[in-house]
Chain A
């Protein structure tokens, strides 16, 4: 179960019934029901697009939003939903522009309002909600403007770093890839938002202008995009000639990412410094992709007969595949068993009791299920249970948490790897709530669940000591 956060003002919401944002100052107010339902089942992916004006951010997001609509041609049973009226209206305008061969060169996203898009079954049996902020290009140059977008920038786990290398080459301000990144770091620092733990996808746009400069392997990859005619190609032909499997697609993406990384280091102005800085900042993973959303486009000529889009699915698929929970700091982490005995956890509603108790103590939590290294998918109407039975392990979660972070673990059976943490710092920082009194009786901070238990008192004792 994911915590519901207002997508407009980023305020965490409490209680079962959520419709009106609980922040009285929220400029939108109504949280769409479909969004709430979706996010209850699936923790969303927060995504910000960062890049200089005219480098192709808006064209990239337009292409992606339009391509999602037709992705069912490639992946059977894949579909998408727009979760609020604003997103529906934005996509409607994109469709009209697309039909008329018009390219949007500037975002019409008002204020800090995001696009809310839910995609279904692109990753097998998963619903994933994307919250996409197309940040104004001026942010890349003027850190002062960032404050208005602070919450979204802080919250986003994934950053799309949009760069038109062709425009960068001709840049009269002397900017390089490295200086763009330094501005990003400054923005994050000003917003008190550590970059550590975020993932970054560098998207080189306007690939059509670079063909003579790119490595042959990358050129071939661009030229051979089987989905460049996604809108007009019959689904049957696409599936027969280019059967899609996520694993092989991701393998190709990884290969091209590696080629672009080398290209960045060897050729792009400030490229080697950029890669070094990203590594030093501990942003992981760093990947590269390349798209062409408006071939032959020119800033002075925005109307064309036909819009031809190349590899615009790559950033989307990379993001869905890599997912990622919001990195906004919560006080603690709650881990709920998703193994063979997890039904008992959910049937007894211990999870909700713990969340309520923590709320009374003023503690916000990030929620995980065991066996997942990131927030998990819930399925259908059975919203309190994980979509798949997973291995009852906690290591892939604990190992990624920062020093000093507290964890509350609810489990009926002992995780495979709990003993790995005995006699470590976690013995004091992990509170284990056991549904079975025989489980992990060696654990220092253990609460055995009982219907009559005053959970708030029990948690307080451990949290304060």
Chain B
């Protein structure tokens, strides 16, 4: 995993986020914001005061394809992927996304246990967040005005791939076109107007819930909003509105 700190002296980035950080009590300094890449080369950000880094975006189909190319597991094959696509959303090339289709970038129709399997492939420390962890990150980020230049910074991270770079830029462009006047970092990160994201209901990490705000729904993310009838989200309950993003917990933060 590579990482890079955003520097205070960067003119494009520091001004907007620098002013926003004052509103975010946990974000004490721009220099504290660090970018890391996950196993598939997709960005995660570290938020000061939180004991984890979090994916910039929900997990995309490209990341799942990396996973499928690396694991030798009878379950995770072409048939499984096609089921995900048919019960979730179709695959789309990053350059083809539009306001009404950017959601297709993200993997949906996946089950929580499958998301956990993906997290294990990503390595030690990667996991689904708990509902509280997700909401804590959300609360920090919803107070920060969107920073378009952040994408340039992320894309300059050592190790980021051309395809990821293209996806991030195309998505930002698309989301900007779709933006309201009060756009926040949570919108850039598709923590709202995205998918319901799997989280653990509690620190016990044995049952799951959905958090976030699916595209074209109106209720903002809040605790307990998407409890499942089937608390463990059993096999067969694939849903095209549900995806996930990972956090990476670290003890040494």
Q: What residues make up the interface of A, taking CB atoms closer than 8 Å to B?
A: 123-126, 247, 251, 254-255, 258, 262, 279, 339-340, 371-373, 388-393, 395-397, 399, 416-417, 419-425
Across the interface, do B72 and A391 meet the contact criterion of CB distance under 8 Å?
A: no
Nearest residue, chain A, Cβ from B252: A262
Report if A254-B124 is in contact (Cβ < 8 Å); known contacts: A371-B69, A416-B91. yes
B114 within 8 A of A: no
Across the interface, do A391 and B163 meet the contact criterion of CB distance under 8 Å?
A: no
* 7 tightest A-B CB contacts, nearest first: A396-B69, A419-B93, A373-B69, A399-B161, A254-B124, A393-B65, A391-B78
Nearest residue, chain B, Cβ from A255: B124
Q: How many inter-chain contacts with C-beta < 8 Å in the A-B complex?
A: 77
B242 within 8 A of A: no
Across the interface, do B62 and A422 meet the contact criterion of CB distance under 8 Å?
A: no
Question: Which residues of chain A come closer than 8 Å to B70, judged between CB atoms?
Answer: 373, 396
Question: Which residues of chain A come closer than 8 Å to B77, judged between CB atoms?
Answer: 388-391
State how many angstroms separate the Cβ of B105 from the closest Cβ of chain A: 11
Across the interface, do A390 and B69 meet the contact criterion of CB distance under 8 Å?
A: yes
Please report the C-alpha to C-alpha distance between residue A392 and residue B65 in the assembled complex, in whole angstroms.
10
CB 8 Å contact bits of B52-78 with A (1 = contact, 0 = none): 000000000010011011101000011
State how many angstroms separate the Cβ of B241 from the closest Cβ of chain A: 22
Across the interface, do A371 and B68 meet the contact criterion of CB distance under 8 Å?
A: yes
Residues of B contacting A: mostly: helix
Please report the C-alpha to C-alpha distance between residue A422 and residue B92 in the assembled complex, in whole angstroms.
13
Please report the C-alpha to C-alpha distance between residue A339 and residue B78 in the assembled complex, in whole angstroms.
8
Question: Which residues of chain A come closer than 8 Å to B162, judged between CB atoms?
Answer: 399, 424-425
B94 within 8 A of A: yes
Please report the C-alpha to C-alpha distance between residue A240 and residue B116 in the assembled complex, in whole angstroms.
27
Across the interface, do B124 and A391 meet the contact criterion of CB distance under 8 Å?
A: no
Question: Which residues of chain B come closer than 8 Å to A388, judged between CB atoms?
Answer: 72, 77
B194 within 8 A of A: no
Question: Which residues of chain A come closer than 8 Å to B68, judged between CB atoms?
Answer: 371, 390-391, 393
State how many angstroms separate the Cβ of A423 from the closest Cβ of chain B: 6
Question: Which residues of chain A come closer than 8 Å to B65, judged between CB atoms?
Answer: 391, 393, 395-396, 416-417
Report if A420-B123 is in contact (Cβ < 8 Å); known contacts: A373-B70, A389-B78, A392-B78. no
Nearest residue, chain B, Cβ from A257: B124
Across the interface, do A399 and B95 meet the contact criterion of CB distance under 8 Å?
A: no
Candidate in B69, B70, B95 with the most chain A CB atoms within 10 angstroms: B69
Please report the C-alpha to C-alpha distance between residue A393 and residue B66 in the assembled complex, in whole angstroms.
9
State how many angstroms separate the Cβ of B103 from the closest Cβ of chain A: 17
Question: Which residues of chain A come closer than 8 Å to B120, judged between CB atoms?
Answer: 247, 251
B99 within 8 A of A: no
Chain B residues 149 to 169 lying within 8 A of chain A, measured CB to CB, are 161-163, 166
Please report the C-alpha to C-alpha distance between residue A424 and residue B94 in the assembled complex, in whole angstroms.
12
Across the interface, do A340 and B62 meet the contact criterion of CB distance under 8 Å?
A: no
Question: Which residues of chain A come closer than 8 Å to B123, judged between CB atoms?
Answer: 254
B88 within 8 A of A: no
Nearest residue, chain B, Cβ from A126: B72
CB 8 Å contact bits of B92-109 with A (1 = contact, 0 = none): 011110000000000000
B129 within 8 A of A: no
B200 within 8 A of A: no
Please report the C-alpha to C-alpha distance between residue A421 and residue B96 in the assembled complex, in whole angstroms.
11
Across the interface, do B96 and A395 meet the contact criterion of CB distance under 8 Å?
A: no
Question: Which residues of chain A come closer than 8 Å to B95, judged between CB atoms?
Answer: 419-420, 422-423
State how many angstroms separate the Cβ of B117 from the closest Cβ of chain A: 9
Across the interface, do A419 and B96 meet the contact criterion of CB distance under 8 Å?
A: yes
Question: Which residues of chain A come closer than 8 Å to B69, judged between CB atoms?
Answer: 371-373, 390-391, 393, 396-397
Across the interface, do A395 and B62 meet the contact criterion of CB distance under 8 Å?
A: yes
Question: Which residues of chain A come closer than 8 Å to B41, judged between CB atoms?
Answer: 399
